Structure 1
Amino acid sequence: MATPPIRALPLSVPADRPLLGIAFMVGAGLLFTVLDTSVKWLTQSYPPIQVLWARYAGHMLVLGVYLLMIGWPRCRAIMASVESLSGQFLRGLLLLAASGFAFLAFRELPLLQVYVINFSAPLLVTLLAIPLLKERVTLAMGLAVVTGFIGVLIAIGPVDWRAQPAALLPFGMAFCFALYQLATRRFGRNAHPLASLFYTGLAGALVCSLVVPFFWTPIAMGDIPLFLAIGTLGAASQLGLIMAMRCAPASLMSPFLYLQIVWATISGYLVFGDVPLLETYLGAILIIGAGIFLATRRH
């Protein structure tokens, strides 16, 4: 399972290179889907916390090797770009919580259903930014949020929540991911991408390492390569996302991340035999349309 080496990615790119940004964003979305497909496969046989630990441990291993390669003076300058160490760790814990909900959801639900509900995160960002960041929301933005949540209801269809409590997991993921994005606005806007990657991964790795011994299951030899791959996939996909946002405005980049709908449909069908319902796509159209509108208005 090949992934682009992190050392091949430029660490500083001009802000007026949209084609490069689009390439980074499409690549990041594809890597995220490969990562999540691998996670869903592994969580059928292993505790989600063990898979989550492998994702963060691998992330730190790949990033740590790269930081050693670039040398201490440059590494120190990168880490000095962080304005709030506690804020960076908060970001890491929020992303860890979102990942935890996601890994549990992937074990129980089709990839596409989880993705569609997670796409409601920008709607939650808009709502939560009002009390947390004191941002103002126009009537048009409010209507877009309502439209998006109608799309969520359409996408999930009629659900007996008592009989299918796992259907709530993607909402926990979307909520934590929305808080993570708000924390990034507050604490990570000016930090170097590698510094953000490092502290985000460190927070997750530390917490997972404390918990995973209580859930450890022996790993079959055939599954070891996949466990090793998810860490690299996680680091590469996150860095691709960060680099895309550095190349061009989020309003231009965000729609290309929604190509994950295509990747998740193909992967879900080929690997797990999942056949999406028409309602899922109808809901996704409303959610994505609302998300693109909000991204355009915000920027």
Structure 2
Amino acid sequence: MTSLTLPAQRPLRGIVCMLVAAALFVAMDSLAKYLGDDYSSVQLAWSRYSVHLIVLILLLIILGRLNRRELESRAPWGQFGRGLLLLGATIFAYLSVRALPLTQVYVVNFSSPLIVTLLAIPLLNERVGAKRILAVLCGFSGVLIAVQPDVGDFNVELLLPVGMAVCFALYQLATRYFAAQDSSLTSLLYTAAAGGVVSTLVVPFFWVPVQAQDIPLFILIGLLGALSHFALIEAMRSASASLVSPFLYSQLIWATLIGYWFFGDYPTRDTFIGAGIVALAGGYLIINERHRH
């Protein structure tokens, strides 16, 4: 990718937007975990994106902003591909929360900001020194401590949140890249359109009739999805990817509380230790970034 003139830096705004996005992500995934025993992950992803798309289009009509010039993308295929990355992350996420405790899923997903920090070097031309790379490696070691994969009897389900983390890291970098070319509204529309179109094509093969009492929850998943990714897009537009991404670590707080209160999952000591190491690594990245500016 070539060098771009990125939007003006507003670090505090970017941090707040990322914290909001983190909380909304956990709420959405918790709903998916609750519904996951009765419905397929593809069906839940379809609801998340179709509702997202419908709500967004209605909002644009109400605001009088549904016009070609304002929503036109300078890189439509790139934006569509970016949306597919998020669709992949969503399906991996819903498969993960159905099979694993919320806290464990999010500790593995903590590798996403670490991956962002590393990939920001070649993809976004952001400078990442040796000390920051060392912090990233320490963070990955924390993930391994928290998860403690058994090499002799490896749990294949642990690969699900890894797939989620990789897809989501690439999505974040793509968001940052296209933020220099398109508005947040355009990016949000393409996110919904890509996921909505592709999931609609495949959902008939996974369809389970939705019970009446679950319809509001299906709609809520879509609403939370739209809000969370608008907050994420604004975070990436406001500050560098390597600064705001570590604030996704706040997901652990919400995942622990919701997992304990609603699903009876309590993290082990190793999970807390590993998560602490990851959080310290992220904290170093944040402090280092502030000193650089």
Superposition TM-score, scaled by structure 1 size: 0.85
* Structure 2 match to 1:78: 70
* Structure 2 match to 1:194: 185
Match of 1:51 among 44, 49, 71: 44
Q: Which amino acid aligns with 1:219?
A: V
Q: Which amino acid aligns with 2:199?
A: C
Contact 1:161 1:167 in 2 (8 A): no
Unaligned stretches of 5+ in structure 2? 1-7
After TM superposition, give the deviation of residue 126 of structure 1 in Å.
Answer: 3.2
Q: Which amino acid aligns with 1:182?
A: L
Name segments (4+ residues, structure 1) moved above 6 Å.
none
* Structure 2 match to 1:67: 60
Contact 2:175 2:233 in 1 (8 A): no
Q: Does 1:210 align with 2:197?
A: no
After TM superposition, give the deviation of residue 108 of structure 1 in Å.
Answer: 0.3
Q: Does 1:115 align with 2:118?
A: no
* 1:38-97: CA deviation from partner (whole Å, max 9, x where unpaired): 01111111111000100000110110101111225x6434313x3211110111011111
* Structure 2 match to 1:3: none
Distance of aligned partners of 1:255 and 1:173 in 2 relative to their CA distance in 1, 3 Å threshold: closer
**Percent of aligned pairs with the same amino acid:** 51
Distance of aligned partners of 1:267 and 1:202 in 2 relative to their CA distance in 1, 3 Å threshold: same
Q: Does 1:35 align with 2:35?
A: no
Q: CA RMSD in A?
A: 2.6
Q: Which amino acid aligns with 2:70?
A: I
Trace 1:89-238 onto structure 2 (pairs within 5 A). 89-130=80-121, 132=123, 137-159=128-150, 164-238=155-229
Distance of aligned partners of 1:223 and 1:285 in 2 relative to their CA distance in 1, 3 Å threshold: same
Unaligned stretches of 5+ in structure 1? 1-13
Aligned-partner Cα distance in 2 for 1:266–1:234: 20
Q: Which amino acid aligns with 1:240?
A: A
Moved more, 255-264 or 95-104: 255-264
After TM superposition, give the deviation of residue 242 of structure 1 in Å.
Answer: 2.7
After TM superposition, give the deviation of residue 250 of structure 1 in Å.
Answer: 5.7
Contact 1:251 1:292 in 2 (8 A): no
Aligned residues: 284
Aligned-partner Cα distance in 2 for 1:195–1:170: 28
